[in-house]
Amino acid sequence: MGKADLARRKFRRERGNRKVHSSQLKNRSAHFSERFDSLVHLGLYSQLPGAPCHMLSFTINQEVTTFDGDETTPLLWVLRDHLDMTGTKYGCGIGLCGACTVHINGVAQRSCVVPMAAVANAAITTIEGLAAADDKLHPVQQAWLEHDVPQCGFCQPGQIMATVDFLKRFPNPSDDDIDNNITNICRCGTYARIRKAIHRAAELSATGDRK
């Protein structure tokens, strides 16, 4: 077993207290610095947060979590690589595809372009936390099942998280509303099924029907 495997195993053993340490983020942060420059160039950040390291506290799926690494680290990398929450996917890494969509304070955001500095004291919900505490599916998840939406499935957590937020703003959406507001990309082209499932999710949400 290589050093990296041992380090990962050690981290998983210790992550019962849900702390993310700066030493574990060093390589990722260096890689992100290069990518961060390109994001600024694209205008995806309004200001540079620099690279300070302060202890941040936030909740993920109602569980209090702390972080003491480089605050420019993308939320997506902390979720996937350090909290082992791999339901949120890494697609483009520059805020374009939506595969990494999570909710921050109830609003859908693309976590690959959200630096940790932006989530201090925030409430984050990922696909893992969308179902109710009693494991009943969210109406959007239920609709996705009914319409058998996924093909490869890679984009679908992001599609579902984007749809949950969308239906709060458009509880009875038209096809145009869907096409104009759900901008997540699906390489398998499941858009027709996604649209049907969104209409079904709107029905289920209106009737409060959860199976």
For ligand FES, the closer of residues 62 and 183 by Cβ is 183
The count of residues interacting with ligand FES (CB under 6 A) is 23
CA atoms of 66 and 7, how far apart (whole Å): 19
**Packed helices 191-207 and 156-169: angle between N→C axes, nearest 10 degrees:** 50
Greatest extent of the chain over all pairs of C-alpha atoms, in Å = 54
Q: Which helix (H) or strand (E) holds 194?
A: helix 191-207
- The reply to whether 79 sits near ligand FES by the rule CB under 6 A is no
Question: Which position has the token pair 């990494």?
Answer: 100
- Choosing from 60, 75, 112, 117, the residue that interacts with ligand FES (CB under 6 A) is 112
How far is residue 40 from each of residues 13, 27, 33, 45, 194, measured CA to CA in Å?
Answer: 36, 20, 11, 5, 32
- Choosing from 97, 124, 143, 202, the residue that interacts with ligand FES (CB under 6 A) is 97
- Choosing from 99, 102, 114, 116, the residue that interacts with ligand FES (CB under 6 A) is 99
CA atoms of 40 and 85, how far apart (whole Å): 27
Contacts of 93 (CB under 8 A, 6+ apart): 35, 76, 112
- Choosing from 110, 138, 147, 200, the residue that interacts with ligand FES (CB under 6 A) is 110
Segment 141-200, which members bind ligand FES (CB under 6 A)? 150-156, 186-188, 190
Structure tokens at 116: 């940790």
Structure tokens at 18: 């849900």
CB of 150 to ligand FES, least distance (A): 5
Closest by CA position to 112, among listed 121, 103, 101, 120: 101
CB of 101 to ligand FES, least distance (A): 7
- The reply to whether 96 sits near ligand FES by the rule CB under 6 A is yes
Stretch that binds ligand FES, among 45-53, 88-96, 117-125, 160-168 (CB under 6 A): 88-96
CB of 6 to ligand FES, least distance (A): 29
- The reply to whether 122 sits near ligand FES by the rule CB under 6 A is no
Residues at the contact surface with ligand FES, assessed by CB under 6 A: 90-93, 95-100, 110, 112, 150-156, 186-188, 190
